Structures are given as C-alpha cells and as structure tokens.
Amino acid sequence: MCGIVGYVGPKSTVDVLLGGLKRLEYRGYDSAGVSVINTLGTLETRKKAGKLSILVDDIYKTPLGEAHIGIGHTRWATHGAPTDGNAHPHLGGNTQKLSLIHNGIIENFSELKSELLEAGVSFASETDTEVAAHLIAREYDKTNDLIESFRTVVRRLHGAFTILVMHEDEPGVVLAARRNAPLVIGLGEGENFLGSDVAAFVEHTKRAISVGQDEIVILRKDAVEIENFAGHKIEREEFLIDWDASAASKGGWSSFMAKEIADQPQSVADTLMSRVSSDGTVHLEELAPLTSLLPKIDRIIMVACGTAAYAAEVGKYAIESWARIPVSVELSHEFRYRDPILTPNTLVVAVSQSGETMDTLMATRYAKEAGATVLSICNTQGATLAREADAVLYTHAGPEVAVASTKAFTSQIVSMYLLALHIAGIRNTRSLNELQDTGKNLLKLPAQIADVLSNTQGIRSLAKAYKDAETVLFLGRNVGFPIALEGALKLKELAYIHSEGFAAGELKHGPIALIEAGQPVIVIVPSPNDPDSLHAKVISNIEEIRSRGAKVIAIAEEGDQRVAQHAEEVFFIPKVQQMLAPVLSVIPLQIFAMELSSAKGLDVDQPRNLAKSVTVE
C-alpha cells in the first residue's frame, strides 16, 4: 500500500511533501516522487527508485522551483518493477501537463490500456497508474474541465484506488478520488492537505476529515469540497487527531521499531485508560451500539491478517474462557470465499492496526451484507474499517511507523481482554469478584512490561550470537501458542530467516523431524502454577528436543526453577495471571528478532518486500 500526500497553500510545497512522505514511508519504499506547479506556472516532476532519501538527495542537489501546490508519492510496487520510470507521479497526455499519483490496484487497467494503445497513446511505464493519467488527460483535451474529466474517468475504474491529480492549466487545485483505499483531508488556515493517513500532515494541523467510499475531493488553499462520483455534494464531519508529529519520530532511538517496543508500557496504559476503574471494573462506552446484541450473541468470528490474526487468537482464548462464547479466527482473505455461516446473532470482530487492510474490509462488508454485526478493533482514527463497523474499539497505541508490528499487537491483545471482560460482565459468566480481579491485573500490565524491558540485555546478546542461524523454531501451549506464531513471524519479517511456530503438543506429530544438533528452539513456558499442568507437559517437550541436540531458549515466569534445569538460556517475565502472559512473553521475542536483524546489518523498520498495509484481494 503506497503513501500519498497533497498540498495547496503558502508553505514551501517541496518541504511539505517530503516531510509527509517521510512519515508515510512505512507504506512503501520501493521508489518516491513529487510533482509541483512552480510559481512560474510550470509543472515540475522528480522521481527516483529506491528509498525516499535518494529522492531527497537528488532534490537537494538540483532543487525544484518554488511552489505552493503539489503531490507526492512513496511506492510499494504492484504493477511494474521498482524503477525510475515506474515510480509515481505519472504524466498524462502529449503535453504532459497533468500529473497523477495512485495508491491501490486498477483491476481493469488492461482493457483500458488496450483502448488507449489503439488510439495511439504511448506509455512510459509498466504501471496500471499511467493508464488513469492518460485517460484523464484525454478527457480534459475534450472538455477543458478538469473536475468533469476526473469524475468521468474514476467512474470507469475498477478495483482499489486513491488517485490525486493536478494540471498545469489549473494551478490552484488538487483533485482526489477514493474507492477501497484510504484518503484523509487535513484542514489548515489558508492551506489544506491530503494524505493516505493523518501522518502525512499532522505536523501542520490536527483537524482532519475522512473521505468516504466513491467520493471526490476538490482541494484548494482556502476551500475543500467533497462530492460523490455522480457529482452530488457531500458533507462530512471533521475530527481532531489525538497525537502530534513527535510521536511519529524516532526521538533518539536507533530505529522506529526500538522506539515502538519501548513505547509499550505507555501504549498499553493508553488502551486501558478510562476503560478500567481502580476497582477493576471494565467500562466500554464505545460498545453502546451493541447493547442489545451482546447478551444474545451465540458466536464470534474474528477476521484479521498477519500479526493481527495472532492477537485475535489470544483473544479467542480469553473470550471463550471468560465470556463462554464460541470464537473462531479467520484469515480475512479466506473468510468470504468459503461461504461462512452468519446469522443476526453472529458478532464479527475485525482487527486491523491501520483500519485500511483491504482483505479485512472486504470480509467485514461481506459479513454485514449477510446480516452479521461488526465490531472493529483499530488503531487509526477515521479509518475506513472504523467508519464502516457498527462499533469501534480504538487501541490508542499511537502511530506505529516500523512495518513489523509491536505496540499495536500488544494493544490489540489488551483490547481483546477488555472485550472479553465486558461481555462476561453482561452475560454473568464470571463472578463480579473474578472480573474485577482480572481488571486490576490488567492495570498492572504497563509496569510489568516496563520491568521486562529493563532486563533485556541477555536476549539482545543472544540474538547477536544467533545471527548466522538458518532456522529457528518456536513452541508454545495454550495462549503461548499464538505467541510462538508471532515470534516466528517477527523473525521472518525482520531477519529473513526461516522460522516456524508450533503448538508444543504437535511436536511428535511431525515437527520434531526438523530438530538437529545445534538447532535453536524458543519455548514459551506456561506458569508452573498452571492448574492444567501444561508446565510439566512443556518441560517434557523441552527434554524431547534437547535429547536430539537442540539449543533451548525459554521464556518463563519468574521463580520457575525447574525450567532453568532444562534449558540453555532462560528469560524471565513477571508472575502474571496466565491469560495475560502473552503481553509480556512476546516482548523478548520482539527484541530477539530486532537485534538479530540489526546484527545482520538489515533495516528493521523497512524489511524487504513488505509494507504496513497491503491488499491481497
């Protein structure tokens, strides 16, 4: 998913665009580019393959002209390799006075391109985006009306797109259109902004408007108009951004990921704030729209992708244990293609950090059309998922810039706990004392996370020692199993090492064949006080793999003396209610992956081939 920014106003446009792109680079970093209409009325475009810094250096050496209107783009490649030619913006028409940037995929680009080729149009790139640029330029040549030309073309496009356009002959306006891809307006004084999320302009304004599905924005320095694709005017309420630009900066940390791991005591505290009282009672006013449904729901389906799906798996354990409702976790991109059974008493919980993951959006739209109610768990104000759901539970983790999720993951898990306790209270499936005790334990988590973070030197050193490992396995039981999966995913994402997470009980059903001498295996060990005796079972698993030469690294509860006798390395986390342990046990795994990646000389914030919010649909 690409990053886009647009600006009309008195500031130095190039500085505004490059600053916005820097904060959006997590959305794509294969190439970057900007177009401005300078004060002489001439369109200037500069674009470069590679990370944004290459473009910045190029503009520094050969500056663009002074300008007060422009658009910028940072790309995650879909159609066409990451080259200078395929980078955005793309120019349209023979005169090349029109510049266009695009986030998403135009599904019918092939037939549209054939139409243009038959008309004699030449293409300079392999992208679907350039098709839209030429179509709009052709319409403008006919009508001399940029808004009408833009409206005509976007109605012809299929798929997911946010498109920004400007034209040298109309130097005071940027046009934008949105379908199935994010777009937010920033409102300033004598200036206005566009972005794929609020990070694009939060340095300049806290006032924002989310653009709806199939809507067009007409952006001028002193006015913003919104209309639908048919041309009818739309009124939308603005909202205030609840964080500032400093939250999206490294603040002296070696990487955004290092900062975001360290942010977790605060992000979890912010997720709990005003939702859990000092006596442990959970209050979720955001769920008021679900008041009539929650007592009678007979099934919960969670839809999510990647790390968010593992957070949902932890939530499944909590909801089933505390609220006694059956829960299934579905990968969003598989959900609607298997003809799932949905009823009016089904609650679909959609989990997404960005709230713009297309697979999850399509899954929730399918669920709503089938009559189910949708609750979103989301981190981004004004996101499409939050707007389209029947209710939203914001995680309040703040901006997460590193592509690999850390603080959003732990905040999602905590939101799941809150949801489980809220439903349990409504349905009286646990006593008030039990629920309040758990609520009080939730309030202790920020300090316990800080405790874990203050004792990480050992895991950092160990990660560096294993930088040449070819395979790392992760094992867990019960709520430790999703954490094993998440630990393996983090290592894949950051260090490009083959890693797999398994339920420890599955070991002798096949995975034990992977064990060989020297093989590092990370085991999330349950509490020795676990009433289901899973601790003893996991210790047996450890012995089975050690007898085959594996090197065991254990994540265990403080005071667990037995595990120290069976593992080469043990990293302890504070004693905590077993259901809450994932929030603590995942942190050493985050640090292990980050440090191992750094030891290999890799970019932990921007892993190869990955971007923050992607479309599989």
* Strand locations in 130-228 (E): 159-167, 170-179, 184-187, 192-195, 207-210, 215-220, 223-228
| pLDDT (average), residues 102-117 | 92
Q: Which two tokens stand for residue 113?
A: 């391109």
> Which amino acids are annotated catalytic?
2, 612
CATH architecture assignment, domain 457-599: 3-Layer(aba) Sandwich (3.40)
Which pLDDT does position 1 carry in this prediction?
67
| pLDDT at 78 exceeding the cut of 90 | no
Identify any residues that bridge with 46 across adjacent strands, giving them in sequence order.
34
Give 320 or 251, the one with higher predicted confidence: 320
Helix axes 407-427, 582-599, angle to 10 degrees: 170
Q: Can you give the residue ranges of every domain in the chain?
A: 3-247, 250-453, 457-599
pLDDT in tens, 207-260: 999 998 899 999 999 999 999 999 999 999 898 887 676 666 777 788 999 999
> What is the pLDDT, as a whole number, of residue 80?
81
So what CATH class is 250-453? alpha beta
Residue 566 has pLDDT above 90, yes or no: no
When the pLDDT of each residue in the chain is averaged and rounded to a whole number, the result is 92
Distance of CA 580 to the CA centre of its chain: 23
What is the model's pLDDT at position 286?
93
Say if domain 3-247 classifies as CATH 3.40.50.970.
Answer: no
600's CB contacts (< 8 A; 6+ apart) are: 467, 495, 496
Cα distances (Å, whole numbers) of residue 298 to 328, 360, 484: 12, 22, 29
Please indicate whether the domains covering 250-453 and 457-599 agree at the CATH topology level: yes
Residues 323-369 pLDDT 10s:
999 999 999 999 989 889 999 999 999 999 988 888 999 999 999 99
Lowest mean pLDDT segment, chosen from 68-72, 193-197, 245-249, 589-593: 245-249
Cβ neighbours, 10 Å, residue 330: 18
What's the pLDDT score for residue 245? 66
Share of the chain above pLDDT 70, in %: 98
